[in-house]
Structure 1
Amino acid sequence: MKLGLNLSFAIKRWLGGDAMAHIVKNEIGCDIVQFTWDLVDPWWPAEQRDPIAREYAAAFRRAGITIESTFGGLASYTYNHFLAPTPELRALGKEHLKRAIDMTSEMGVRAAGMPFGSFSAADALDPVRRETIYKDAIGAYLDLTHHAKARGLDTLYIEPVPLATEFPSSAPDALRLMKDLNAHSAIPVRLMVDWGHALFTPLFGDKADMDYWMEICGDYIGAFHIQQSDGLLDRHWNFTRDGVITPDRLAEFWRRHRLSSQTYFMEIIYPFEETDEHVLADMKAAVALLRQAA
């Protein structure tokens, strides 16, 4: 298995490129990461933001760590972005991704992504409104594929999410979005499928199945987020805990579908109150379990 770390485990803890690179490379022993926007906010003024982002990227390069992509984190996920109820909010969602693309380019990273967005409670129940907003969102996102290409990026990622008020949540919705975007996009748009989202049984029932996701939209899946979950909530637990997504299950899926280029990014989110010592020990233990299964 090709294993990487989403840096969500480190937020509010190991700040700065050298400190983070030491934890990733020397303590946990990984050399592929996905940089979370929770470490550097795309909305910060570019004059202050970009030197900080470049410092992380330079430190990672010195340590022999590859940043494969940057990705929205907890803060970014808070907002409705491309599917917000008003044109003004949707324009801010577009600007959010535009600034993240600019920051990613400054870091010398070739891919960026985030969830597409979420409808308001009222719009989610109105099929006409949903379709109107969706079509507007497609146009806005396509504009950004041209901006991303101009800034040197070669891929944008969208993460399906486990709420019916968001889009896409289901595999058929993800396939529709990929076809609608890639028919006219300046660069490829791919899915970043989170195992914990795809196996969310309260929403998907018997379709909470990663093989089903591969059958429906596997051609568009560029990478995965992996986490431990009970299938009942979006847990983002580590693999040191019991759950439905075991290291052996991940390894068997990888072999059976003959995956090679996609990365399994561990997206582990700890309570902020957890000690740094526990987080580091738990991450090291989980990586050992995954490598043993592989």
Structure 2
Amino acid sequence: MSLPTLGVALPLDGLRLHRSWIIESQRDLEIQDFFWAEVLNGDWAPLAEGIRKELDGYQGRLGIHGPFWGFTIASLDPDVRALVSRRMDQGLDVCAALGATQMVIHSPYTTWDYNNLDYNPGARAKVVERTHDTLAAAVRRAEDMGVTLVIENIEDCDPADRVALARSFDSPAVRVSIDTGHAHYAHVSTGAPPVDFYVTAAGDMLHHVHLQDSDGYADRHWNPGEGSIVWPQVFRTLATLTSNPRLILEVRNKDLVRAGADHLIGLGLAV
């Protein structure tokens, strides 16, 4: 079995820095310039043009991190849900401009939800209902565009909740993402299962992974090897899937992202 090829999440400056490394292996790439409201509400065309220029010769799988700051996709406030729907549409505008085929969005499930959804009658179904209200138009548009929305775990304690939410859309345009550092935080600090269990729960609904390490106390976004995630077990579990998820290094220090890649490559887990 061939080893998976690592991808990377970068803003334009990081893309410029690591461009040759990305293009020589046609690594999966996630652009991270377009989750800020100030960018989406402004004239982002020159930024998109700058990214397109750097992608000359690139033939890998391209995605973006969609907007997420300041809201949940299952807000109780209908006015907020309308705003979030607009943000999703703006993110898809960026996908169209760049030719991206994937957009990362954030899970609505919180630690509070884990302890309270089943205590409050009907609350679990209401989260799904509100998420559908928020994302319905975006999902239809994503289907037409050939874009997949991947829902990333944030505080999720039960990895099955997000998978069930994605399945509820019954659409090829909605799948699941795992952030390894978020999962490890939830495992150590809130009693969630370990990272590989998140992979197992997602199964072939998993189309995207953020690879980052942590001590389990905070969302560190360290390079793999700097924290306490058991990477061989994570990759053994990933190897059981047929969905070929994009394995995206998402670390805080973009200048040193290749050190994290080198650690995983040195363990014989990826190339």
Under a length normalisation based on structure 2, what TM-score does the superposition of the two structures give?
A: 0.80
Q: In the alignment, is the contact (CA less than 8 A) between 2:200 and 2:237 conserved in 1?
A: no
Q: 1:238 aligns with which of 202, 216, 223?
A: 223
1:161-172, aligned counterparts within 5 Å? 161-162=154-155, 169-172=157-160
Structure 2: stretches of 5+ with no match in the other structure = none
Residue 244 of structure 1: how far off its partner (Å): 2.2
Provide closer, same or farther for how the CA distance between residues 219 and 66 of structure 1 changes in structure 2, counting only shifts above 3 A: closer
Residue 193 of structure 1: how far off its partner (Å): 0.8
Q: 1:261 aligns with which of 232, 235, 244?
A: 244
Matched to 1:154, the amino acid is V
Provide closer, same or farther for how the CA distance between residues 120 and 245 of structure 1 changes in structure 2, counting only shifts above 3 A: closer
Q: Does 1:53 align with 2:53?
A: no
The superposition leaves residues 227-267 of structure 1 with CA deviations (integer Å, 9 ceiling, x where unpaired) of 11122332211125242244x44444444x25572221111
Q: 2:5 aligns with which of 2, 5, 14?
A: 2
Q: In the alignment, is the contact (CA less than 8 A) between 1:40 and 1:52 conserved in 2?
A: no
Q: In the alignment, is the contact (CA less than 8 A) between 2:177 and 2:208 conserved in 1?
A: yes
Residue 112 of structure 1: how far off its partner (Å): 1.3
Q: 1:81 aligns with which of 66, 72, 75?
A: 72
Q: 1:135 aligns with which of 115, 129, 132?
A: 129
Q: 1:109 aligns with which of 100, 117, 137?
A: 100
Q: 1:71 aligns with which of 65, 69, 72?
A: 65
Provide closer, same or farther for how the CA distance between residues 116 and 241 of structure 1 changes in structure 2, counting only shifts above 3 A: closer
Structure 1: stretches of 5+ with no match in the other structure = 164-168, 271-278
Q: 2:198 aligns with which of 213, 216, 236?
A: 213
Partner SS for 1:77: coil
C-alpha distance in 1 between matches for 2:124 and 2:79 = 17
Q: 1:23 aligns with which of 12, 17, 23?
A: 17
Matched to 1:289, the amino acid is H
Provide the identity percentage.
Answer: 17
Matched to 2:146, the amino acid is L
C-alpha distance in 2 between matches for 1:97 and 1:2 = 29
Q: In the alignment, is the contact (CA less than 8 A) between 2:205 and 2:243 conserved in 1?
A: no
Tell me the C-alpha RMSD between the 2 structures.
3.0
- Residue matched to 1:147: 141
Q: Does 1:156 align with 2:130?
A: no
Q: Does 1:34 align with 2:30?
A: yes
Q: In the alignment, is the contact (CA less than 8 A) between 1:227 and 1:245 conserved in 2?
A: no
C-alpha distance in 2 between matches for 1:240 and 1:120 = 27
Partner SS for 2:100: coil
